[in-house]
Chains A and B, each alone.
Chain A
Amino acid sequence: MWSELNQPQEELILRGRVLLPAQRDRIVKSLREKSSFKIIDHMVILSDPAQLGRTTLNWGKAGQEIVGVRRKKGSGELATQLIPEDNPFRILIRDGKQYLIQLDDLTLGWVYEDEVVLLGPSLENPWEGIRRPGKGELIEVAPGDLNKLINTALKYVETTPYLRGGRSRQGLDCSGLIQVAFKNALDLVLPKHALDQMKLGQRVTQFEGCTGDLVFAKVIGRNIVHVGLLLTNGEKKVIHSCLSKGKVLAESPEGFLKNYKPVGYRRLIKKVR
Chain B
Amino acid sequence: MEMVVSCPECDENLIIPVDAEEEEIIDCENCGVEIEIVSLDPLEIRIFEEEEK
Contacts and interface: CB of A to CB of B under 8 A. Distances in A.
A31 interface: no
Chain B CB within 10 Å — which of A164, A195, A198, A263 has the most? A263
Contacts of A205: 19, 21
Contacts of B50: 195, 223-225
Nearest to A164: B53
Contact of A199 (B17, B21, B27, B48): B27
Contact of B26 (A218, A224, A264): A264
A199 B23 CA distance: 17
A203 B53 contact: no
Contacts, number: 33
Nearest to A243: B53
A224 B53 contact: yes
Interface residues of B, number: 16
Given A164-B53, A199-B32, A224-B50, A263 B19 contact: no
B25 A198 contact: yes
B51 A222 contact: yes
A256 interface: no
Given A195-B50, A223-B51, A264 B24 contact: yes
A89 interface: no
Contact of B17 (A195, A198, A203): A203
A198 B23 CA distance: 15
A224 B25 contact: no
Contacts of B26: 203, 264
B51 A224 contact: yes
B49 interface: yes
A236 interface: no
Contacts of B36: 263
A216 interface: yes
A216 B25 contact: yes
Interface of B: 17, 19, 21, 23-27, 32, 34, 36, 48-51, 53
The 8 A-B residue pairs whose C-beta atoms are closest, nearest first, are A263-B25, A223-B51, A205-B19, A264-B25, A264-B24, A224-B51, A263-B24, A223-B50
Given A198-B25, A224-B51, A263-B25, 4 more contacts: A199-B32, A222-B51, A225-B50, A261-B23
24 contacts: A164-B53, A195-B34, A195-B50, A198-B25, A198-B27, A199-B27, A203-B17, A203-B26, A205-B21, A206-B21, A218-B23, A222-B51, A223-B48, A223-B49, A223-B50, A224-B51, A224-B53, A225-B50, A263-B23, A263-B24, A263-B25, A263-B36, A264-B24, A264-B25
